[in-house]
Amino acid sequence: MPLPEFIPPMLAKIGEPFDDPNWIFEIKWDGTRALAFVEGGDYRLLNRKANPQRERYPELAGLAGLPDGTVLDGEIAVLIDGRPSFHGMLRREQARGERRVALLAQSMPAVYVVFDLLWRAGESIVDWTLADRRAALRELMGELDTDLQSTVVFSDGVIGQGLAYFEQACAMELEGVVAKRLASRYLPGKRSDSWLKIKQSRTAYCAILGFLPDGERDLRSLVIGLESGGELVYAGRVGSGLDDVRRRALNDRLRAHVRPTPFISVPSQGGEEVIWVEPNVFCRVKFLEHTPDGQLRAPVFLDTVAE
């Protein structure tokens, strides 16, 4: 039977760490989701929006050697010092031009971390339980050529011990873990509570340097800074977590401290209007990690801090 042109990947909901013998816990690989379709001695590699990824990752060409009628689900990741690198992945994703792609494939190679098998030998197995699909996937991975084993790897995990596994992931400064119910079917395109992504987060206390206004009585997001090496430095912008009540309360407080220029050096905000303020209003922000340029990745506003 011919393979489908595309299968929308199953998605996970947000969850909290837990233990349960009916669940498996895997590392949350900080990369880009991709499905591999192998047939006729060739392969297609598509991201979650069905966009081709094959030319962007030429080092994964060995996928063509997998058995005909195979569909894999996994994550393309760049590993630095054995850990997935979000910033390395961004460089690969943004690379353009055959020469540039080839250079990065050598200096910053990607791996395809496979965690599910959707078709086997030309037949759909999405209605199998996760436990059975992973058993078939493990068998398939054990038959890979030696050369392919360095670029296509199995996403292993632990059964039951989710709390300890999450703590270990946090200690290794990984993004988090994904919990999956062993008895679950694969639900293409569905966000199911049978799959849960459990992310670690950090908290920072930030000074508000300015805000992007939304009319006279509201704001859209905050420009923030934090202490580094005894100095206040730019840390990015945050809008997530600001509900209507918080935004309006902050708008009133911040407009009482307006200044004509930013208190510290701040990169251009893309031509958007910013109202700068004295840095005497502080907030608490949760985030995933610091980016190489010192900004907070995926910041979420939590609350203000008493002056």
Tokens matching residue 4: 């489908």
In terms of Cβ atoms closer than 10 Å to its own Cβ (0-12, 13-18, 19+), residue 82 is exposed
Handedness of CA 33, 269, 291, 208 (dihedral sign): negative
CA 188/CA 4 separation, integer angstroms: 12
CA 82/CA 88 separation, integer angstroms: 12
CA 167/CA 248 separation, integer angstroms: 38
Q: Give the distance, in angstroms, between the CA of residue 301 and the centroid of all CA atoms in the same chain.
A: 19
Residue of 28, 49, 197, 199 with catalytic role:
28
Q: H-helix or E-strand containing 134?
A: helix 130-141
Which residues pair with residue 223 across a beta bridge?
A: 210, 237
Q: H-helix or E-strand containing 44?
A: strand 42-47
When computed from its CA atoms, the radius of gyration of the chain, rounded to whole angstroms, is 23
CA 295/CA 233 separation, integer angstroms: 9
The answer to whether residue 28 is catalytic is yes
CA 228/CA 290 separation, integer angstroms: 12
**Residues annotated catalytic, as ranges:** 28
